[in-house]
Amino acid sequence: MCEFYATFWEEGLKTAAKGKTNVFILADSNLPEAYLEEVVEVLSPQIEVNTFVLEGGEGIKTLEHAQVIYNELDNMGADRKTLFVCLGGGTVSDLGGFAASTFKRGITLVILPTTVLAIVDAAIGGKNGVNFKSEAGLLKNQIGTFHSPEFIGYNPSWLESLPSMEVRSGWAEMVKHGLIQGSGELLGELYGCCDNEPVTLKKIVPLLKSSAAVKEAVVNQDPTEKGGRVVLNLGHTVGHALESYSNLRHGEAVAWGLVFMLETSKMKNGFSESEVRRLQDWIVKGVGVPLPEVASGGLWGLMIKDKKNSNGTVTDLLFRKSGDIGMDFIWKRDEFTTLWEQFRSKFV
């Protein structure tokens, strides 16, 4: 089970605040006000608390928004003993973690995730970053740092305000973890609770810690992304490009990235056709959004600038067999174009 969530959030937060000068809370304005009030109430008896709210979403992950946060920190008299708390989804923790890691060369960070995706994925691993607007389009997480939070904790009741589309988006990252784990229990439990039925919060909440534990195990083996951690990018090569090129949420784009990865694994590595079809049908039904009509040229221009790539090549991850992920597949543009157009005709 995931050690990050072994402590109740109130206890972990109070412990992190001990000996600090003050606290800065960056919160998502989309959250019910009661969530922020609850966090402030836990802290305020023992320390000065300052709050700042931003509307979450990929649009806030910019250097300009980081500058706004630096100004807020400076105005409140933040110092190297200030505690920086992120309350929100993955974009809030990505931006907030980046600001915390660079303000005065790094201050203590706590993440309190409020979405399924953030709990199982974005909050774990110490990666923080902002996006970069290039001539090819939005390039995700091109500017970033490694800065691990001192504590991560969540309140299950904070998830109750999530719209169903956000729940399904987070479910897609849980599916990714199940595919990485392969023969472990997670994929079977996810399939069992959501096969032929809608993905709901009630069904997946019992599996959040098991999903987070998969990422925790990978991160612990490769904390600064020198090698093995790359498996966490499964489905993300195409997924990130789809996200940048369309209005898909991160998890929705990753879901379609996983569907394409399975198709390519069948074509290139002989991965079981019946297993591919079963998993593809399940993921498409579960995520509940159609594949955007994006031509291969638009995707390729974004994929080639992905931060995993070098020397002008596009590196991808494919299955050799269940749970066995090859990390050395190199795309040729013509080959990708052919396969993507075949894939698009099948699912659009």
Letter string b/e over residues 171-189, b meaning 16 or more CB atoms within 10 A of that residue's CB: bbbbbbbbbbbeeeebbeb
Q: Are residues 190 and 328 in the same domain?
A: yes
Q: Are residues 223 and 282 in the same domain?
A: yes
Percent above pLDDT 70 for the chain:
97
Farthest-apart Cα atoms in the chain, separation: 62
pLDDT at 1: 58
Q: Are residues 185 and 147 in the same domain?
A: no
Using CA atoms, how far apart are residues 265 and 38, in angstroms rounded to an integer? 47
pLDDT tens readout for residues 164-209: 999 999 999 999 999 998 867 899 999 888 777 889 999 999 999 9
Q: Does the pLDDT value for residue 91 go beyond 90?
A: yes
Q: Which residue is associated with the tokens 């999903």?
A: 211
CA–CA distance from 318 to each of 77, 229, 249, 276 (Å)?
49, 15, 23, 12
Number of domains in the chain: 2
Residue 333 binned pLDDT confidence (cut-offs 50, 70, 90): very high
Using CA atoms, how far apart are residues 346 and 226, in angstroms rounded to an integer? 36
Question: Are the C-beta atoms of 121 and 89 separated by less than 8 Å?
Answer: no
Question: Are the C-beta atoms of 266 and 252 separated by less than 8 Å?
Answer: no
Percent above pLDDT 90 for the chain:
76
pLDDT tens readout for residues 308-325: 776 678 889 998 866 688
Question: Are the C-beta atoms of 122 and 152 separated by less than 8 Å?
Answer: no
pLDDT at 4: 81
Q: Does the pLDDT value for residue 51 go beyond 80?
A: yes
Question: Are the C-beta atoms of 45 and 14 separated by less than 8 Å?
Answer: no
Q: Are residues 139 and 11 in the same domain?
A: yes
Q: Are residues 58 and 179 in the same domain?
A: no
Residue 134 binned pLDDT confidence (cut-offs 50, 70, 90): confident
Last residue of a domain, one of 160, 186, 208: 160
pLDDT at 227: 82
List the CATH number of the domain containing 236.
1.20.1090.10
List the CATH number of the domain containing 150.
3.40.50.1970
Q: Is the dihedral of CA 199, 261, 336, 309 positive or negative?
A: positive
105: phi > 0 → left, psi -120 to 50 → alpha, else beta; which? left
Domain that holds residue 13: 3-160
Which residues make beta-bridge pairs with 113?
88
Report residue 200 CA to chain centroid gap.
19
Last residue of a domain, one of 138, 160, 182: 160
Q: Are residues 131 and 226 in the same domain?
A: no
Q: Are residues 189 and 332 in the same domain?
A: yes
Last residue of a domain, one of 98, 130, 160: 160
**What's the average model confidence in pLDDT over 280-305?**
92
**What's the average model confidence in pLDDT over 90-110?**
97
Residue whose C-alpha is closest to residue 122's, from 232, 31, 48: 232
Q: pLDDT averaged over the chain?
A: 92
Using CA atoms, how far apart are residues 252 and 171, in angstroms rounded to an integer? 9
Q: Count other C-beta atoms under 10 Å from residue 81's C-beta.
A: 12
Q: Does the pLDDT value for residue 268 go beyond 80?
A: yes
Q: Does the pLDDT value for residue 119 go beyond 70?
A: yes
Q: Which residue is associated with the tokens 């700042």?
A: 52
Q: Are residues 182 and 64 in the same domain?
A: no
Name every residue whose Cβ is closer than 8 Å to that of residue 133 and which is 6 or more positions away in sequence. Answer: 139
**What's the average model confidence in pLDDT over 210-230?**
91
pTM of the model: 0.93
Residue 105 binned pLDDT confidence (cut-offs 50, 70, 90): very high
Q: What are the structure tokens assigned to 239, written together?
A: 């997924």
124: DSSP letter = S
pLDDT at 322: 66
Residue whose C-alpha is closest to residue 97's, from 34, 143, 48, 59: 143
CA–CA distance from 32 to each of 85, 91, 322 (Å)?
17, 17, 41
Q: Does the pLDDT value for residue 328 go beyond 80?
A: no
Q: Are residues 193 and 335 in the same domain?
A: yes
